[in-house]
Structure 1
Amino acid sequence: MKIQANTIRPGNVLEHQGKQWAVTKIQLIQPGKGNAFIAVEMRDVETGTKTNERWRTADSVEKLDVRQIDCTYLFKDDAGFHFMDKETFDQFNLPEDAVGEKGAFLQDGMDVTVDTIEGKPVSVNLPQTVVLEVVEADAVVKGQTQSSSYKPGILENGLKVMIPPFIEAGTRIVVNTEDTSYVERYKG
């Protein structure tokens, strides 16, 4: 199915130059002069080779039909990330480069969807948000206004996130998995 380049999202699988590519990252670039374009980081589904491609936002690309299966994340080892199909209870793994940066958000027992092409798993889709604990947070600087300033914090999975000044180490927060941004303090 043909789609416009500006609708490409991470997790999509594209047909390009006779190969199947799983999109891992996108960036919309709007130069000061000229038309906007989209820079796409992709991984070859067969070989795992990564490449970068640029398209104008009006260009069309071939998006492959992908079947999504509901899975449970089990664990990670040297072979990659292991999942179990909730319907058939079959277990399979995805290599680390297929999961990419999303791997930092995976938690044991997490419900995810895995995209498959012709029965072969190619990428994983996480929930929109996850709850993580802040393990390290900078001290509040006196004089900062609470509404406009954020400070760096480190989450239990090692990722850095900008958090409001009132969040301290030990606080559990909701984090957006798309852009690793703070959403709110966890109220659970």
Structure 2
Amino acid sequence: MTFQASLLACGKEVRPGPLGGVVQRTPLAAGAWLDLRPGWLLGADALFDRLRHAVPWRAERRQMYDRVVAVPRLLAFYGEGAALPDPALDAARAALDSHYGAELGEPFATAGLCWYRDGRDSVAWHGDTVGRGATADTIVAIVSLGAPRTLALRPRGGGRTLRFDVGHGDLLVMGGSCQRAWEHAVPKTTRPCGPRISVQFRPRGVR
């Protein structure tokens, strides 16, 4: 499907909105928490359009049991010190550092980008446990651009699944023990849906 912009997110100026006093925190089990700020990045659809052209997207293949399969999404990664592909992402990261810096105790250092082209693209259940996320509390901030897709969370070992439809500049932040005590996924869907770009800001040593 082609991308259908939101009337609330299609301005040409891209800038983050306020977080203090606005972002909604939900405590989760086992010391985890989740913050949600709908429509945080103003002009998000203009940024979506810029990123899909400016980012050097790559397709990956990975070993899955006894065969090599295509990763069902396009990827890009900007490591510590790397220039981000758009100034709006620098502004978003600076705003996140300002709001979460004291709680996190360090800045956000990397940015991972995923392009979900349609409902067939997805990411399986996982936690960001490569590195320090496996043993220590941390914060991962996700900015969703483009058409909304479901981001699902569930406790490791079973329990009720939480579902959030995020897109058009929504901010979802997972904190505390969320990466090791909970899992998250973007499930495949047969519903008609447009493309979505997810931008994940992480601190050093968390993947």
TM-score interval for Structure 1 and Structure 2 normalised by the shorter chain: under 0.3
TM value normalised by structure 2 = 0.25
Q: Report 1 or 2 for greater relative contact order, CA contacts < 8 Å, sequence distance ≥ 6.
A: 2
Which structure features the higher share of strand residues? 1
Find the structure with the greater CA-based Rg: 1
TM value normalised by structure 1 = 0.27
